[in-house]
Chains A and B, each alone.
Chain A
Amino acid sequence: MAKVRALVLAGNGTNCERETAHACRLAGGDEVHIVFIWDLLAGKASLGDYNFLVLPGGFMDGDDLGAAKAGAHRFKHGKTPAGESLFDQLQTFIHGPKLVLGICNGFQLMVKLGLIPNPAALLSCDDHDNDDQKEKTPAKSPSPQEATVWANDSGRFEDRWVYLTADKSSPCVFTQGTHKIDKLDLPIRHGEGKVIFGSLDGLKNALDNHLVPLFYASPDTGRPTEKYPENPNGSPRGIAGICDPSGRLFGLMPHPEAYSHFTNHPRWSRDTLNKDLAKDLASEEEGAGLLLFKNAVDWLHRYAD
């Protein structure tokens, strides 16, 4: 069984690295390292030594030029002493049997780098029934940014818990892996979480190809919603996260790492937690947000080198 070697990126305004690393460890990550972007840029650490890249929440460069915009720019143009950009490293990384998870600011970064939804990747992994997950490889060359993550319709930053439902046909390794995730409560904490596609076709393609693994939904109907506050930012069709066609690159606005213990849930003392998800957890203590990380760990144990 391959070892899970997780790199949790930190530095320059990222601020959820500790709880994200904690969630990786609880989920069974074998080696989990918090690595500062400065050490990557200085060549003191390299993505190549890991098989799970986690981009946690925060405010890269203060989100001063737009959410994760300056952060994405640093990825593309910041160079290691060897003259390699982090984006070059990332391109090499995603061609191996590896996983990338972006949460909140990390999701914004992935979208702005064009890593997701990246429909061009469909060409190289159009066979969803292929049993050999290793063969499903993301696109060989960087694709142009196809969507963005923009200001909430309310114009406000908000911290609130949302109810998420899943596309069960999604190739997403994190939501439809060993544990099938559905009806999950997670917190969102952002001012810019509305997903906007460059074209209507883009939106349609992403939905048709099941690249939207999670939706904001109404707890009453269980259906994806565009209605505030169940949908906190006005994302069309309730889009809460996006993956690439391989299902190995996934980003979402809600914070799964913030639900690693049952007491994280705002209503834990009311005895109303989702029992379906609870049975997938190792103990009553664990929070259901861990399931995303467990799916990643299971996949890596099986397929990583």
Chain B
Amino acid sequence: MPHRIEVILKPGIKEALGETIAHRIRKHLGKEVERINTVEVYTISEDLPSGMLELFAKEALCDPIVQNAMVNKSTALERDFHWAVDVAYRPGVTDNVGRTAREALALLMELPVDQVPSVHHSRQYLIKCHPDHVLSALDVESIANDLLGNKLIQSFSVYDRSTIKEMKKIQPKAPKILESTDVFTENIDLDVSDEELLRLSRERVLALSLEEMKQIQAHYRRPEVMEIRRHKGLQTRDGEATDVELECLAQTWSEHCKHKIFNADITYTDEEGRTEKISSLFKTYIQGATKEVRRAAGEDDICLSVFKDNAGVVKLDDEWSLVFKVETHNSPSALDPYGGALTGIVGVNRDPFGTGKGASLIFNTDVFCLASPHRRKELPPRLLQPLRVLEGVREGVEHGGNKSGIPTVNGAVVFDERYLGKPLVFCGTGGLMPAEINGKPSHEKAACNGDYIVMVGGRIGKDGIHGATFSSEEFHEGSPATAVQIGDPITQKRMFDMLLQARDKGLYTAITDNGAGGLSSSVGEMAEDPGGADLDLGKAPLKYSSLQPWEILVSEAQERMTLAVSADKIESFMELARRFSVEATILGTFNDSGYFTVRYNENVVGHLPMEFLHGGLPPMKLTARFDPAPESDPSSEELWLSAENTTGSWNRVLLEMLSRYNICSKEYWIRQYDHEVQGGSVVKPLTGAHDDGPSDAAVLRPLLGSMKAIVVSCGICPRYSDIDTYHMAACALDEAIRNAVCVGADPSRLSALDNFCWSDPIKSPQNPQGPHKLAQLVRANKALYDLCIAYGVPLISGKDSMKNDYRSGDIRISVPATLLVSVLGIMEDGRKAVTSDAKKPGDVVYILGQTRCELGGSEFLATKNRVGCSVPKVRPQETVPRYKALHKAITAGLLRSCHDASDGGLAVCLAETSLGGDLGMDIDLSKAPVQRPGGSDLPPEVMLFSESQGRFVLTAEPDKTEELENILAPHGLSRVGLVTDDSIFKMRTTNDKVLINLPVSDIRQAFKEALSSERF
């Protein structure tokens, strides 16, 4: 019989969680409540020995100072409330608290964990209504649905006070999976019509096209294939595949895993009607750029392993290698923002960990693209309120990063209404590994013929089934809920602790992550080196017994790595795993048979030639046509600026710009992420006199005994895509590089990652815009190619997510073409790092880099609901030598501060420098370097807010200015003013006309309040 233990706070103890929930009910849902109390509920699935329940409650679950526990009795009646809502996980959903409580019970009972009853955690919310706003049962249900939980993964029970009073207690109910006894493999006849093939693909969520289905059909029709299958003892008839094989092929061939669009044959026509053929964007532009950069670098090439492993690997020095990968987790985050983002961050942790022999993890990054959190409009079906999405993804990354002990050092948040349909959640992780481990290069690995296939970490459940294929389609009302899961950072941390020991002892030959596609993908890919594998799904450890073989194969259940362990090491490996309480299971062997053989105990349930599995997919043939919308730049008059052309109005415009969501302080996020664990923090995300100025990039020392530092930065500017994705991509790369150089990274030792998030670029009746979107992709690739070569920055890894659309009936919401560029830099000496805040009154302020008439796609025009056409352009002939010279000045210690001008232009950049230092500035903008067409003065809105690339605001102490000017004068440097001690931020222009005159405190307030914690 199940039992229920309730733990409640003692009277008088502050309900921090309850207060947060009450605040959110008011803020997010617009409903009044008086108070929320919370009760932690533990359900024990079966009877325990006498007295054990009480002991368990007292010893393990209840803090005697602040909590009371009750066994099989409702604590709610001790509180004044109107409604009680129990929120419990649905059966099979990862329940971290329940897992920990069960381990505690096992310790108490002195038994192994799997021999004690399961424990399930749920939470009860006691709602006391506001006297003037009585909540109905319906109101309470909507609070449960919209805030307290997510019905995809949680169930709700609502009680009113009198019901609980009558019952005295709530009947305990342990979530239980209905265990079906029939485990079987289905044979699927592929000798069917085209319509039938398409129906199969759709109904099984295979996400395969007709052409791909026919490719598979043809395989099974080949006589030699039939012969081998009969010989192998597969229980299929000729022309039939097993469900295991079909699922395995669908995962391996999914857009998510195979990047079919990036590898397609594309016929591209530009705006002038010129046509060219491109065979694989990836090979031509991404790999192509890196190849050229590496060739040009010669002996100075820093790349060690690019585009072949889970993450890119570059040299830090001769003894250490750096690993970096950024992933997106958009589709799961649309369904369950918390779980999606949590699995996003702990998932990308496994990429550097599964790269080469395995890296220890040294930093995380996070970039979110979201709709405005304070949008209050009716939502299309199945979409979640943007505020809830924001809070969910923020908290998911918080729990994933903080609990893993990895500092979240860099990130960005971009707001645009078009992210309502699918939020973009980019999660990145960097790693560090010795260049050599046990005498061999750490970035190389290969499973060997005869090695055991060992799965380590969590168990397999139905969670995450079809994640890879699901993310390869658009988000719709019927999107599968099983794609949602909750991450478990502690199980993963235990596994990483153990695996790092195993790595250093040389206990395994290869390692990879179980991410998209699960075992199908990890074993299938590792088997490429030895040339085959024999995998027994019957041996796989399961969370519950009702999984079909195909589900075991493709489940994306988290916290699992697959390893190759040689026969002579297997015993030591398994012993180490046992000691660290980490589950490790031998699932078969790697071989050189040329086949990926899948068994379920005695039966062969899948037998696929490696060659067909990995090489059988023909490239797609696609058409791209660039068809830009006609746009022109609005004139000053059109913008109604003439009327505003006074000091007071420019003051107002600047304050409005500083409080734009895309510009304002993200301190609310930053503070909730541990950004300095591991002890090597040098430049933090916030800087300055009051730790509240924005930093351009992170600087950290991964080796605590050394001054060597790494720099992490990013660039993202999707607004420019509305004009031209070529310049969007160029600017994203320039911004990331500029940010890195700004804090002190050596521009000759940078590497970059590209993450594309696009709207579906394949033409269909529902998607007539497909060819233009594909052309946008082509242009972005061309820009990356041109600029990476110009800067000598290799692309070392990347990812694409191509179906970021939402569709319901006639409503289609597509994300703007978005490219995130993440840059990893190296500094020989972290002590040379420079921050963005002004340091001392009397310091000289400089602007480096020309301002041009480039308001197109700017944050300023967005305030006028305009896009314009003069998009900022990157001019590497100017910026490449400029960045080198700037680095020289930084290394020589000539700068007090350096800040990159991006969103919001010079006015925002100068204001941030001033507020960071809590010091005034007196700036004469007419002295700023400019490129003016026809010699005329640039209008004030351009001088203030144009987003021309390649610009910086610098400050220097007066006695260093001569040396500084010697180095930077040839690169567009002008002295524009001074840092002052009067706490006034002042900008003048020609004839001493004052444009802006504001107290620094006003600037700080505008910057900090727009998205401060009170707004959530």
Contacts and interface: CB of A to CB of B under 8 A. Distances in A.
A53 B839 CA distance: 41
B80 interface: no
A293 interface: no
B402 interface: yes
Given A38-B581, A151-B17, A157-B402, A61 B497 contact: no
B663 interface: no
B676 A39 contact: no
A43 B989 CA distance: 75
A59 B490 contact: yes
Interface in B479-504: 488-490, 493-494, 497
A31 interface: no
A13 interface: yes
Nearest to A19: B679
Contact of B682 (A44, A66, A153, A263): A263
A294 B493 CA distance: 30
Contacts of B686: 266
Contact of B493 (A13, A70, A269): A13
B788 interface: no
Contacts of B121: 64
Given A159-B674, A263-B682, A153 B830 contact: no
Contacts of B110: 77, 79
B405 A16 contact: yes
B101 interface: yes
Contact of B1013 (A58, A76, A156): A156
A59 B63 contact: no
B104 A187 contact: no
Contacts of A225: none
Given A62-B490, A154-B16, A264 B681 contact: yes
Q: Is the interface of A mostly helix, strand, loop or mixed?
A: mixed
B671 A158 contact: yes
B982 to A, nearest CB: 19
A15 B100 contact: no
Nearest to B101: A65
A258 interface: yes
A196 B13 CA distance: 9
B934 interface: no
Name the interface size band of chain A.
Answer: 35 or more
Interface string B402-415: 11110000000000
Interface in B641-698: 670-682, 684, 686-689, 691
Nearest to A111: B65
Interface in B154-174: none
B66 A148 contact: yes
A161 interface: yes
A13 B63 CA distance: 20
B16 A39 contact: no
A222 interface: no
Interface in A231-275: 234, 257-258, 260-261, 263-264, 266-267, 269-271
B951 interface: no
B345 to A, nearest CB: 14
Contacts of A36: 497, 580
A178 B108 CA distance: 43
A44 B673 CA distance: 35
B679 A258 contact: yes
A92 interface: no
A74 B679 contact: no
A159 B676 contact: yes
B677 A189 contact: yes
B739 to A, nearest CB: 17
Contacts of A10: 497
B691 A267 contact: yes
B120 to A, nearest CB: 13
Interface string B352-372: 000000000000000000000
A65 B59 CA distance: 11
B598 to A, nearest CB: 34
Nearest to A66: B63
Interface residues of B, number: 68
A63 B104 CA distance: 12
B398 A157 contact: yes
A8 to B, nearest CB: 13
Contacts of A11: 494, 497, 580
B833 interface: yes
B189 interface: no
Contact of B830 (A19, A159, A263): A263
Contacts of A155: 16-17, 19-20
A39 B579 contact: yes
A145 interface: yes
Contacts of A271: 839
Interface in B829-877: 830-831, 833-835, 837, 839
B107 interface: yes
Contact of B96 (A23, A58, A64, A258): A64
Contacts, number: 192
Interface in B799-818: none
Contacts of B490: 12-13, 59, 61-62, 64
B104 A150 contact: no
Contact of B580 (A38, A147, A261, A263): A38
Contacts of A161: 691
A65 B16 contact: no
A57 interface: yes
A61 B684 contact: no
A188 to B, nearest CB: 10
A203 to B, nearest CB: 12
B580 A64 contact: no
Contact of A62 (B100, B108, B833): B100
Contact of A15 (B405, B670, B673): B405
B66 A15 contact: no
A160 B14 contact: no
B226 to A, nearest CB: 52
A197 interface: yes
Contacts of A78: 107
A152 interface: yes
A39 B14 CA distance: 39
A112 interface: yes
B705 interface: yes
Contacts of B107: 73-74, 77-78
Nearest to A272: B689
Given A61-B103, A234-B14, A197 B65 contact: yes
Contacts of A234: 14
A73 B60 CA distance: 6
Contacts of A198: 64-65
Contacts of A59: 402-403, 405, 489-490
B103 A70 contact: yes
A22 interface: yes
B671 A160 contact: yes
B52 interface: no
A199 B304 CA distance: 61
A42 interface: yes
Contacts of A183: none
25 contacts: A10-B497, A13-B490, A18-B678, A19-B677, A19-B680, A62-B403, A63-B403, A65-B61, A77-B59, A77-B110, A148-B65, A150-B13, A150-B63, A153-B14, A153-B16, A156-B672, A157-B398, A157-B672, A157-B674, A159-B673, A160-B691, A258-B679, A269-B834, A270-B688, A270-B837
Interface of B: 13-14, 16-17, 19-20, 59-61, 63-66, 96-97, 99-101, 103-104, 107-108, 110, 121, 398, 402-405, 488-490, 493-494, 497, 579-581, 670-682, 684, 686-689, 691, 701, 704-705, 830-831, 833-835, 837, 839, 1013
Given A61-B103, A70-B104, 13 more contacts: A11-B494, A12-B581, A73-B108, A144-B64, A151-B17, A159-B674, A159-B676, A160-B691, A196-B66, A263-B681, A263-B682, A266-B686, A269-B833
Q: Which 8 residue pairs across A and B have the least CB separation, nearest first?
A: A15-B405, A19-B679, A64-B100, A148-B65, A155-B20, A155-B16, A62-B490, A77-B107
